[in-house]
C-alpha cells in the first residue's frame, strides 16, 4: 500500500518540486553556521533547548496556571479551548462583541489558526479575514494551503506570485521581489487601517511574567497586534517557556534553525492591553489557549513532539519533504514534524500512513533545536499502524519469516536469486519495474565464509 505522500509524489508538477528543493536546501546548509556564530556550539544550544522544553512538558500544569495568573494580572483576558470547535466559537464570540459582521480582520501568520481552520469560520460568520504575512496572503488569494510551517509558499516562485497579483489587480507583472512586496504592502496597508480586530499566533508564552512573544520578519504582526483595537492571540498549550531568561537562548535558537538568522527582524513582547495615557496598542487583548488533542499526546508515547518550536528545520532537511513539499501530507503540519504530530492530534487511524513517508535517515533529529527523536517515534507509529492495519506495505512478512527461520529453505531460495531478472513484468514491483536488478557476481557469502572461517 502506498502512502498519501507516495501518491502525491507521482502527480506533483516538476516546477513545484524544484521550488521546494531550491528554497529548503540552503537553509539546512547554513543552519549550523548561523547557530555557531551566536552560540559557539550549536549542539550545546540544542541540549539547552531540549532540556528546557522537556522541563516545560513535565511541569505543564503548574506552568500554565502560573502563566494564566500572570496574564490576568496584566489585563489579558484568557480563554481555554478544548478543541477546534470551542476555539472557533470563543474567537467568533469575541469578534461579534468587538465589531459588526462584515468587518475586516487582519491576521498575522499563525499555524494554530490554520489548525482550527479559523478563516472558514470567520467568513461563514460574515467577517473578512485578511492574511497579512506575504506568503499566507498569496495562499489566501490563490485558495491554496500552506506547504511549510515557516515559509507557506515554498512551493511557488516569484513568477507564479506575480501571476496571482496580476489576476487580483494588485499591480503590473514583475519578477522583482521588492516590487511584488510593494504591491502587497500597498493593498495590505489599507486593510490595517480598516480592521478593528487583529488575530495572531504565539511563539512563546512566558510563565514567569505572563508575556506573549511573537517573532517575524515583515512587520505585519506588529501592525496586526497594535493598530487594531482588539487583539486575539491563539496559542497551543505547549508553547510555554518558564522564564524571560530562557528567551536569550530560544530567540536565536528558533531564528537560526528556521531562517539562519541570529535574530528575527522583529520581536514583540506583549504584556497587556493599552494602558491609561498610552497612545497606541489595542484596548483589549484576548489569549485563547488551545488543547485540541495536545493533552492526549502529553500523556502518551509521543509526548516529546510537544517540545516542537515550529522552526521547520526538519522539513528543510528531510529528503522526502524536499521532493514533495507539504501538500502531499494533507495536513497543516507536514514533513517529519507532521508525520508524528498529525496522527498524534487526529489519530493513527487517520494519519498513521505518514509514518512511512520517511527514509529514517535521522537528519530531522540531527537538526531539531529541541532534539525531538522523530525517527524512533516514526518506528513506533509504524508499529502501531501495522497493528491497526492502517499501514500495509504489501510485503508478505510471514513468508519471509518462514524462510529466514529455516536454513534449508533460505539456502534453496538463494540459489534462485540469479533468476530474479527473469521475473515476468506484471510481477515486478515499482522498484524493479523501472530499474535493472543488479546481477549477482562472484560466490555467495556463505561459500566465502566457509572458506575463510577458522
Ligand atoms: S520537530 Fe524540531 S526541527 Fe521540526 S519543526 Fe519542530 S522544533 Fe523544528
Cell of 92: 467568533
User: Across all residues in the chain, what is the average pLDDT?
Assistant: 93
Q: Is there a domain that residue 346 lies in?
A: no
Residue among 304, 305, 336 to mutate when testing ligand 1 (max atoms within 8 A of CB): 336
Q: Within this chain, do residues 416 and 289 fall inside the same structural domain, yes or no? A: no
Look at residue 190 and give its three-state secondary structure: helix
Residue among 257, 326, 354 to mutate when testing ligand 1 (max atoms within 8 A of CB): 257
Residue nearest (by alpha carbon) to ligand 1 atom 7: 308
Q: Is there a domain that residue 24 lies in?
A: no
What residues are paired with 269 via a beta bridge? 213
Index of the ligand 1 atom closest to the CA of residue 312:
5
Q: Is there a domain that residue 129 lies in?
A: yes
Cell of 300: 502518551
pLDDT, one tens digit per residue, over 62-93 is 999 999 999 999 999 999 999 999 999 999 99
Q: Which 3-state string (H, E, C) describes 370-405?
A: CCCCHHHHHHHHHHHHHHCCCCCCCCCHHHHHHHHC
Q: Is there a domain that residue 241 lies in?
A: yes
Last residue of a domain, one of 243, 264, 294: 294
Mean pLDDT across 213-242: 97
Q: How far is CA 283 from the centre of its chain?
A: 32
Q: Within this chain, do residues 245 and 121 fall inside the same structural domain, yes or no? A: yes
Q: Within this chain, do residues 432 and 286 fall inside the same structural domain, yes or no? A: no
Phi, psi of 283 (to 5 degrees): -75, -25
Index of the ligand 1 atom closest to the CA of residue 149:
5
Cell of 19: 521550488
Last residue of a domain, one of 275, 294, 313: 294
Cβ-contact 266, 223 below 8 angstroms: no
Q: What is the structure's pLDDT at 442? A: 79
Mean pLDDT across 333-349: 97
Last residue of a domain, one of 229, 259, 294: 294
Q: What is the structure's pLDDT at 429? A: 63
Higher per-residue confidence, 280 vs 203: 203
Q: Which of 223, 197, 205 is nearest to 287 (CA)?
A: 205
Give residues with Cβ within 8 angstroms of 423, minimum separation 6: 432
Protein residues whose CB sits closer than 6 Å to any atom of ligand 1? 257, 308-314, 337, 367-370, 372
Higher per-residue confidence, 427 vs 208: 208
Q: How many CA atoms lie within 13 A of 433 on its CB side?
A: 6
Q: What is the structure's pLDDT at 391? A: 86
Q: What is the structure's pLDDT at 430? A: 63
pLDDT, one tens digit per residue, over 138-189 is 999 999 999 999 999 999 999 999 999 999 999 999 999 999 999 999 999 9
Cβ-contact 313, 59 below 8 angstroms: no
Using a pLDDT cut of 70, give the percent of the chain over it.
95
Confidence of residue 293 (pLDDT cuts 50, 70, 90): very high
Index of the ligand 1 atom closest to the CA of residue 310:
5
Confidence of residue 364 (pLDDT cuts 50, 70, 90): very high
pLDDT, one tens digit per residue, over 14-32 is 888 899 999 998 888 899 9
Cα angle 381, 386, 389 (rounded to 5 degrees) comes to 120
- CA dist., res. 161 & res. 180, Å (int): 8
Mean pLDDT across 200-212: 98
End-to-end Cα distance, the chain: 45
Q: Is there a domain that residue 231 lies in?
A: yes
Q: Within this chain, do residues 151 and 284 fall inside the same structural domain, yes or no? A: yes
Q: Is there a domain that residue 282 lies in?
A: yes
Q: Within this chain, do residues 289 and 419 fall inside the same structural domain, yes or no? A: no
The CATH number of whichever domain residue 272 belongs to comes to 3.40.50.10420
Residue nearest (by alpha carbon) to ligand 1 atom 2: 368
Is the pLDDT reported for residue 306 higher than 80?
yes
- CA dist., res. 47 & res. 370, Å (int): 7
Q: What is the structure's pLDDT at 76? A: 98
Using DSSP, how many helices (H) and how many strands (E) does the chain show?
22, 10
Q: Which of 257, 259, 266, 362 is nearest to 309 (CA)?
A: 257
Buried b (16+ CB within 10 A) or exposed e, 331-361: bbbbbbbbbbbbbbbeebeebbbbbbbbeee
Mean pLDDT across 267-287: 95
Q: Is there a domain that residue 34 lies in?
A: no
Residue among 303, 340, 358, 372 to mutate when testing ligand 1 (max atoms within 8 A of CB): 372
Q: What is the structure's pLDDT at 6? A: 86
Using a pLDDT cut of 90, give the percent of the chain over it.
80
Q: Is there a domain that residue 429 lies in?
A: yes
Phi, psi of 80 (to 5 degrees): -110, 130
Is the pLDDT reported for residue 231 higher than 70?
yes
Instruction: Work out the number of other CB atoms within 10 angstroms of the CB of residue 57.
Output: 17
Mean pLDDT across 421-450: 70
Cβ-contact 6, 239 below 8 angstroms: no
Q: What is the structure's pLDDT at 427? A: 55
Report how many domains make up the chain.
2
Mean pLDDT across 378-407: 87
Cell of 244: 524571560
Q: How many CA atoms lie within 13 A of 288 on its CB side?
A: 29
The rounded Å distance from CA 38 to ligand 1 centre is: 19
Cell of 272: 497587556
Domain of residue 413 covers 406-452
Confidence of residue 445 (pLDDT cuts 50, 70, 90): confident
Cell of 138: 498569496
The model's pTM is 0.90
The rounded Å distance from CA 370 to ligand 1 centre is: 7
Amino acid at each position: 500500500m502506498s502512502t498519501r505522500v507516495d501518491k502525491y509524489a507521482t502527480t506533483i508538477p516538476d516546477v513545484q518540486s524544484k521550488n521546494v528543493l531550491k528554497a529548503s536546501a540552503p537553509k539546512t546548509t547554513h543552519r549550523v553556521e548561523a547557530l555557531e556564530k551566536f552560540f559557539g556550539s550549536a549542539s550545546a544550544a540544542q541540549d539547552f533547548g531540549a532540556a528546557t522544553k522537556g522541563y516545560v512538558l513535565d511541569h505543564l500544569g503548574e506552568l500554565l496556571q502560573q502563566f494564566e495568573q500572570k496574564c490576568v494580572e496584566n489585563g489579558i483576558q484568557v480563554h481555554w479551548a478544548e478543541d477546534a470547535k470551542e476555539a472557533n466559537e470563543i474567537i467568533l464570540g469575541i469578534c461579534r462583541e468587538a465589531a459588526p459582521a462584515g468587518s475586516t480582520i487582519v491576521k498575522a501568520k499563525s499555524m494554530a489558526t490554520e489548525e482550527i481552520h479559523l478563516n472558514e469560520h470567520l467568513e461563514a460568520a460574515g467577517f473578512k479575514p485578511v492574511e497579512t504575512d506575504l506568503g499566507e496572503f498569496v495562499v489566501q488569494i490563490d485558495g491554496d494551503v500552506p506547504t511549510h510551517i515557516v515559509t507557506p509558499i515554498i512551493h511557488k516562485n516569484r513568477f507564479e506570485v506575480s501571476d496571482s497579483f496580476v489576476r487580483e489587480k494588485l499591480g503590473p507583472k514583475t519578477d522583482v521581489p521588492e516590487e511584488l512586496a510593494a504591491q502587497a504592502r500597498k493593498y495590505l496597508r489599507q486593510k490595517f487601517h480598516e480592521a478593528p480586530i487583529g488575530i495572531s499566533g504565539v511563539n512563546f508564552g512566558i510563565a514567569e511574567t505572563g508575556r506573549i512573544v511573537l517573532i517575524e520578519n515583515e512587520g505585519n504582526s506588529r501592525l496586526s497586534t497594535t493598530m487594531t483595537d482588539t487583539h486575539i492571540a491563539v496559542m497551543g498549550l505547549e508553547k510555554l517557556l518558564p522564564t524571560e531568561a530562557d528567551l536569550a537562548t530560544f530567540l536565536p535558537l528558533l531564528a537560526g534553525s528556521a531562517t539562519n538568522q541570529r535574530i528575527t527582524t522583529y520581536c514583540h513582547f506583549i504584556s497587556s492591553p493599552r494602558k491609561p495615557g498610552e497612545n497606541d496598542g489595542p484596548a483589549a487583548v484576548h489569549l485563547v489557549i488551545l488543547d485540541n488533542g495536545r493533552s492526549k499526546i502529553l500523556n502518551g508515547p509521543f509526548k516529546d513532539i510537544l517540545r516542537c518550536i515550529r522552526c521547520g528545520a526538519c522539513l528543510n532537511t528531510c529528503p522526502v519533504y524536499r521532493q514533495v513539499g507539504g501538500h502531499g501530507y494533507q495536513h497543516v503540519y507536514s514533513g517529519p514534524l507532521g508525520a508524528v504530530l498529525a496522527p498524534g492530534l487526529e489519530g493513527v487511524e487517520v494519519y498513521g500512513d505518514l509514518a512511512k513517508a520517511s527514509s529514517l535517515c535521522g537528519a530531522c533529529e540531527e537538526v531539531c533545536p529541541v532534539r525531538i527523536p522523530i525517527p524512533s517515534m516514526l518506528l513506533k507509529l509504524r508499529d502501531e499502524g501495522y497493528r491497526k492495519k492502517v499501514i500495509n506495505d504489501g510485503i508478505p512478512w510471514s513468508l519471509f519469516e518462514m524462510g529466514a527461520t529455516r536454513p534449508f529453505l533460505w539456502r534453496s531460495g538463494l540459489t534462485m536469486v540469479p533468476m530474479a531478472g527473469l521475473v515476468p513484468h506484471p510481477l515486478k514491483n515499482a522498484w524493479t519495474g523501472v530499474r535493472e536488478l543488479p546481477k549477482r557476481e562472484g560466490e555467495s557469502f556463505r561459500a566465502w565464509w566457509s572458506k575463510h572461517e577458522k
